[in-house]
């Protein structure tokens, strides 16, 4: 039996790949052809932003926002626009508590520009990455300072909710027929609505696990079970299924909403760029600089420690 510790990732590598992959099928035909041709790139690079946390200091805060730092839902005192928020709290302080919803706007502008310029490699990289940030913001514990149950003696709950449960259930039991991507008039309020939902659900995520833990036989909470071909000690299947029931399928719902949001943001960026034809674009067409950057990012991810708050 092999006993190793592994990093728990935001939505896990599995979750992020799954979300980007399924988002492709919600696109209109003009986009679908191009995205399907490049689906392995879009899927594989869904996790780049997490890898970058090992190389770039500024990366960490882009993945979350501690909404509880700003009071209670609906967080009326927190300006939704970046400039207003900076005026109110200063950039340093915002960075300290996470800038996820604002960072999505930066990515959205970049993706729209890439469509305008018909820059294949940028379109693909930015599509893969905005998918990551959008997906993170659908996770309740990405909107809460007690992000891994560290203040309530529930360490491990982060990966439990966003990795263990999807890995156990997504492929076999969840269906991802979600409909079609829609145009989003106001991407800023759209993502804020999702983030506020996440923040409001964080207490439920924590309280229900606490209640389940109190009534579950302690020796059955963890078990040696298989993960990615390796046997490791983790939350047992029984405990995971019981938690999923208690949550009334919240993880599946949030994952579906994430898939939908990713497709809608891709579609909206393309529409705002004037719906350029994607027919002529081929392959990821990575240049030497791209290749070098991926290689360096992978190296620091494999060898280093993440900077700032992580999902471990
Ligand atoms: Zn992340």
Residues 31-57 have pLDDT tens digits of 999 999 999 999 999 999 998 988 888
Distance from residue 264's CA to the centre of ligand 1 (Å)? 19
What percent of the chain shows pLDDT beyond 70? 93
User: How far, in Å, from the CA of 133 to the mean position of ligand 1?
Assistant: 6
Q: In angstroms, what is the span from residue 126 Cα to ligand 1's centroid?
A: 14
Sign of the dihedral through C-alpha 45, 47, 48, 51: negative
Do 17 and 25 form a contact (C-beta atoms < 8 A)? no
pLDDT score at 289: 79
Cβ < 5 A residues, ion ligand 1: 10, 50, 63, 136
Q: What is the pLDDT of residue 279?
A: 87
296 pLDDT band (50/70/90 cuts)? Answer: confident
Gap from CA of 72 to ligand 1 centroid (Å) = 24
In 3D, which of 243, 92, 224, 102 has the Cα closest to residue 163?
243
Provide the percentage of residues in the chain whose pLDDT is more than 90. Answer: 71
| R_g (Cα) of the chain, nearest Å | 19
132 Cα–ligand 1 center, Å: 6
- pLDDT-derived band at 298 (thresholds 50, 70, 90) equals confident
């Amino acid at each position: 039996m092999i006993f190793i510790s592994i990093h728990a990732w935001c939505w896990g590598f599995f979750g992020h790949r799954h979300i980007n992959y399924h988002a492709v099928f919600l696109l209109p035909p003009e986009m679908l052809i191009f995205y399907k041709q490049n689906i392995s790139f879009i899927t594989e690079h869904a996790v780049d932003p997490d890898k970058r946390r090992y190389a770039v200091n500024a990366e960490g805060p882009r993945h979350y926002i501690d909404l509880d730092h700003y009071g209670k839902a609906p967080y009326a005192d927190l300006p939704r626009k970046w400039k207003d928020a900076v005026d109110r709290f200063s950039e340093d302080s915002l960075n300290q508590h996470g800038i996820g919803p604002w960072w999505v706007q930066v990515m959205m502008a970049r993706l729209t520009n890439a469509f305008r310029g018909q820059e294949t490699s940028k379109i693909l990289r930015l599509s893969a990455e905005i998918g990551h940030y959008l997906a993170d913001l659908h996770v309740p514990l990405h909107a809460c300072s007690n992000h891994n149950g560290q203040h309530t003696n529930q360490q491990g709950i982060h990966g439990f909710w966003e990795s263990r449960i999807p890995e156990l259930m997504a492929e076999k039991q969840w269906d991802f027929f979600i409909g079609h991507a829609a145009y989003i008039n106001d991407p800023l309020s759209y993502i804020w609505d999702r983030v506020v939902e996440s923040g409001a659900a964080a207490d439920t995520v924590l309280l229900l696990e606490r209640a389940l833990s109190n009534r579950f036989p302690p020796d059955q909470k963890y078990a040696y079970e298989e993960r990615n071909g390796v046997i490791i000690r983790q939350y047992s299947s029984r405990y995971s299924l019981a938690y999923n029931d208690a949550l009334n399928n919240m993880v599946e719902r949030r994952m579906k909403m994430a898939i939908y949001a990713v497709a809608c943001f891709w579609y909206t960026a393309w529409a705002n760029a004037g719906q350029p034809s994607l027919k002529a674009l081929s392959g990821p067409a990575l240049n030497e600089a791209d290749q070098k950057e991926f290689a360096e990012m992978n190296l620091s991810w494999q060898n280093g420690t993440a900077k700032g708050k992580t999902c471990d």
